Amino acid sequence: MRILVTTSPLYGHFFPMLPLIRAALTAGHEVVVATGPDLAAEVHRRNLTLWQVGPSMKDVLAGIAGRPADPTADPAAALRRDAMAYFGEPGIARARELMPLATAAPPDVVIHEQSDFAGWEIAAALDVVGIPHGYGPHLPFTRLLVQLIFAEAAARLGAPDRSPRIAEVVYVDPWPASLQSGEEVIYPRVQPVRPEPELAPAGAMLPRSVLDLPYSTTVYATFGTVFTGADSLLTVIDAVRELDVNLVVTTGHDVDPESLGSLPAHVVAVPFIPQSLLLTRCSAVVSHAGSGTVLGALAERLPQVCLPVGADQFANADRIARQGAGITVPPDARTPETVRAALLSVLRDPSFATAAARLQSEVERMPPAAEVLPTLLATA
């Protein structure tokens, strides 16, 4: 079969679909990925066909940052505006550019992250099976977000409202039940799939600076690729400055490690390290509680200190804390001292690692992508 995968150009939305993509390639199917330029290198690295469509996320975020503030907007109006800016308008642009490509080489199936309007539209317009894929917990505004994008985007394209498809599709959910937010699931048909850690590129190795760190205990710190910032990273660095604990910080693509200044000998800052290489050497993770980082830490049964910033991170952090697998430090209480206290707690109290191991056992019981894919494709 020809499988079209569509996604916003966000690592955290694309990576959760990789297990199904790998299963499809192993089974001999053809996979084409349609997304913005931010993910082009990741798609090419996997020898996948890329249809580069729509704006870059860098341009989307720049446009949002340049908007004038609207102090009179109520929360519902602000949500509508943000939903269209982050997902609706970029999804419309992807759909417009993608439609002629998909019409010329029609897919049998479209797998798309659930917030990508282009995937919903292409599947409906070509009358093929569409499979929305999750990337985190159910959130209280999911129904409003999806239906809003359907209604406004369809109106701009002159297409029918695609929201009735919510009742027809099978939603692929890689998020373990114990970490769900408890909010409404808008999809009547849900297929769990086991999340799998992102694989390191062939031949990838840890930097010598990481291998030469002096202490026996190593902690990984990250704020992902969207919400990262020097101030947040410096708070974590200051938290461990006087501890006998190695700290490996990844800054992402938008923060220069040099901007963090002079670092202690037991702290290393680099733009990126594959988590699958690093986490096997770690004892804990300090992060924004993004979905990929949360699941990556659980894959190695590591306790977590959660410093949420936005999006689904507050829900993720809350569930990790409720399950006893970590500690959340809210933004208004976030100082080097509070982060240090939380980190020492998860390192010294074995109950946090025990809870993380329990959650990882739950993940392992979820069906793998190789078992799920044939069921999904059987309806095509």
pLDDT band at 99 (very low <50, low <70, confident <90, very high): very high
Question: Residue 16 has what pLDDT?
Answer: 92
Intrachain domains 2-193 and 208-364 with the same fold: yes
Task: Report percent pLDDT > 70 for the chain.
Answer: 95
Q: Among 345, 213, 205, 195, which residue's Cα sits nearest to residue 284?
A: 345
Q: What is the pLDDT of residue 226?
A: 63
Q: Return the pLDDT at 109.
A: 97
Q: Is the pLDDT reported for residue 125 higher than 70?
A: yes
pLDDT digits (tens, 9 = 90+) for 166-200: 888 999 999 998 888 777 788 899 999 999 877 76
Measured CA to CA in angstroms, residue 298 lies from 156, 226, 280, 304 at distances of 42, 21, 11, 9
What pLDDT is recorded for position 228? 66
Q: What share of the chain is helix, strand, coil (3-state, %, to 5)?
A: 50, 15, 35
Q: Inform me whether the pLDDT recorded for 102 exceeds 80.
A: yes
pLDDT attached to residue 127: 93
Output the CATH code of domain 2-193: 3.40.50.2000
pLDDT in tens, 311-320: 778 888 999 9
Under a CB-based contact definition with an 8 Å cutoff, are residues 4 and 114 in contact? no
What is the structure's pLDDT at 73? 67
Q: How many CA atoms lie within 13 A of 228 on its CB side?
A: 24
pLDDT tens digit sequence for 9-41:
988 899 999 999 999 999 999 999 999 999 999
Instruction: Tell me the β-bridge partners of 52.
Output: 35
Classify residue 202 by its DSSP letter: T
Going by C-beta distance under 8 Å and a sequence separation of 6 or more, which residues neighbour residue 240? 219, 247, 266, 267, 340, 343
- Top-level class of domain 208-364: alpha beta
Q: Per-residue pLDDT tens for 225-264?
A: 666 667 788 898 999 899 999 999 888 777 777 777 788 8
Looking up tokens 């977590």 gives: 304
Domain ranges of the chain: 2-193, 208-364
pTM, full prediction: 0.88
Flag whether pLDDT at 137 surpasses 90: no
* Per-residue model confidence (pLDDT) at position 126: 95
Per-residue model confidence (pLDDT) at position 12: 86
In the block, residue with structure tokens 């498809």: 165
- Interhelix angle 369-377/18-26, rounded to 10 degrees, is 80
Residue 227: the pLDDT is 60
* Percent of the chain clearing pLDDT 90 (strictly above): 49
Has residue 304 got a pLDDT over 80?
A: yes
Average pLDDT estimate for 149-153: 76
Average pLDDT score, the chain: 88
